[in-house]
Amino acid sequence: MKWFQEKLYEHHAQMLSVDDVLYHWRTEFQDVLIFENEVFGKVLVLDGVVQLTERDNHIYHEMIAHVPLMAHGLAGQVLIIGGGDGGTLKEVLKHPIERATLVELDGEVIELSRRHLPTVSDGAFLDPRSNVLVMDGTRYIAQTSEKFDVIIIDSTDPMGPGAPLFTAAFYEACRSRLRPGGMMVVQSGAPFFQPGELEMVCGRLSGSFTGVRPYLAPVPTYAGGMLALVAAGETRDALRPPCKVLRERFGPLQGRTRYYTPEVHRAAFTLAPSFVGNAPLR
C-alpha cells in the first residue's frame, strides 16, 4: 500500500493511505496532489499539507462561513480570500447575501477542485451572486474600493504564498474595507501544534479590531484534530450573539448544515486559555 505522509511539525507526522492518485502536478504557485483515501474520500494537498477531504471539509467550511455571517445577521457583501476549492463559497451562498467575491491566487486550484472535488463547491462558482477573481489577496485588498460586511480569510498556512495574508498590515487593510458593523475571520492553523500561529493572529488582529476572539472546530484530518479560527469585529460580544438571536437568524440554514448550529456557534468560543495558548483576549 502507498502512503501520503504529512510532516508539518517536529517529532510528529500523520499518514493517509493513497488508494488512487487522481492528480499530481506543480502549478505556478504550489505543488497540488489529489488522491483517494478509503476513509476520507478524495483528499486535496497543497505543498505537502492536507487542505481538505471529502469526508470532513463541511466542518471547516461551515464554521469559517456561518460563524461570521450569523454573528453579523445582515451581511450583503462578502469577501473570501483564498478558498479556491469553493467550499466556503458554497456555505456563504446559503445566506441571503447580495454578492460573494472570492479572490484566489491560483486559478488551477479552482479548476482542479471543480473537476476532481465537485461536491465541495456543489455549483457555487456558477451562482450569479459569485464574483470570482484570480489574483493575490493582498493586491486585491490594496486596490479595491469595495466595502464588505464580512471578510473570510480561507488561506493556506503562513508560509509560501499564504504568508502575506497573516500580516498586521493586511489585517488593517481588511478592516478599512469593512462597512460599519463588519467582521472578519481568519483560519489560524492547528492550535495544539501551532499555538504561536494562533497567538500571532490574535495579536495582529488586536492592532486593528477592538473585538478579537479565537474559536475552535474539530477537523479530524488536521494534525491534533482541531482547527483554530479567529473572529474579529467591533466588539467581542457581537461575534458571539445570544443563542436566542442566533436561533432567530438560523431560518435560511435550517436543515442545510451538518455541523453548525446556534448552540455549536456559542460553544465554539468557550476555550480553556491555558490549552489554546495565551491569546490576548479582550
Among 6, 106, 149, 197, binds ligand SAM (CB under 6 A): 106
Name the segment binding ligand SAM (CB under 6 A); options: 70-78, 81-89, 248-256, 269-277. Answer: 81-89
Name the DSSP letter for residue 127: S
User: Which residue has the closest beta carbon to ligand SAM?
Assistant: 82
User: Toward ligand SAM, which CB reaches closer, 37 or 156?
Assistant: 156
Quick check: 164 binds ligand SAM (CB under 6 A)? yes
Among 154, 233, 241, 253, binds ligand SAM (CB under 6 A): 154
Quick check: 161 binds ligand SAM (CB under 6 A)? yes
Among 68, 84, 158, 233, binds ligand SAM (CB under 6 A): 84
Quick check: 51 binds ligand SAM (CB under 6 A)? yes
Quick check: 208 binds ligand SAM (CB under 6 A)? no
Least distance between ligand SAM and beta carbon 222 (Å): 7
Q: Assess contact for 138 and 104: CB atoms under 8 A.
A: no
Residues 204, 260: Cα–Cα separation, whole Å? 27
Quick check: 102 binds ligand SAM (CB under 6 A)? no
Least distance between ligand SAM and beta carbon 112 (Å): 10
Quick check: 83 binds ligand SAM (CB under 6 A)? yes
**Can 85 be counted among the known catalytic residues?**
no
Least distance between ligand SAM and beta carbon 150 (Å): 17
128 burial type by CB count under 10 A (0-12 exposed, 13-18 middle, 19+ buried): exposed
26 burial type by CB count under 10 A (0-12 exposed, 13-18 middle, 19+ buried): exposed
Assign 16 to helix, strand or coil.
strand
Name the segment binding ligand SAM (CB under 6 A); options: 78-86, 123-131, 239-247, 255-263. Answer: 78-86
Cell of 154: 480561507
Q: Find residue 263's DSSP bridge partners.
A: none
Binding site for ligand SAM (CB under 6 A): 46, 51-52, 60, 81-85, 103-106, 109, 136-138, 154-156, 161-162, 164-165, 187
Q: Which residues are catalytic?
A: 154
